[in-house]
Amino acid sequence: MNFLIDYNLTGDAVLFWGTLSAEGWLDVLPIRFFTFKEVGLPMNSSDCDVWRFAQTNQMILITANRNMKGADSLERTIRDENTTNSLPILTIANPSRFDERNYREKCATRMIEILLDLENYMGAGRIFIP
C-alpha cells in the first residue's frame, strides 16, 4: 500500500519508517511512503486537493494537522466526497509525542491493523491513531 505523508510529517516519516522496519513489517507487507515533493504536490495544496489526490492515486494519507476550517478543509471534503470506496485518512492523534518511540510503535501497530483489515475501513473517513 502506498501512503502519502503530509508535508508537516516529512521528518517524522523517517522515524515512522524506521519503526515499521524494526518491527519487521516492511519484510512482509508492500508499504511505501511518498512525500508531497515526490508526487509533485505543492506544500500549500488545499486539504481538498490533497484528499482528492490521495483517493485518485489509491494512497492513504497520513496527517497530523488537517482540519475543519473552511470550504476546502479535510473534514468538509470527507463529509462531501467520501464514499464506501474511499480510503481512510490516518491522523496522528498527538503529533507532539511522535518523537517518543513507544508512541510511534503504537501508531505503527494501529496502522498495520488498519492495513491488514483495510476492506473494513473503506469509507471510514478519518481515523485517529494510535
Mean of the pLDDT values across residues 94-109?
A: 93
With CA atoms as reference, report the closest residue to 97 among 64, 121, 50. 64
- The model's pLDDT over 19-70, given as tens digits with 9 standing for 90+, comes to 999 999 999 999 999 999 999 999 999 999 999 999 999 999 999 876 667 7
**Is-above-0.85 flag for pTM?**
yes
What band does 8 get if pLDDT is binned at 50, 70 and 90?
confident
What pLDDT sits at residue 67?
Answer: 65
- The model's pLDDT over 59-80, given as tens digits with 9 standing for 90+, comes to 999 998 766 677 889 999 999 9
Domain ranges (residues) in the chain = 2-129
With CA atoms as reference, report the closest residue to 89 among 124, 44, 53. 124
CATH code reported for the domain at 2-129? 3.40.50
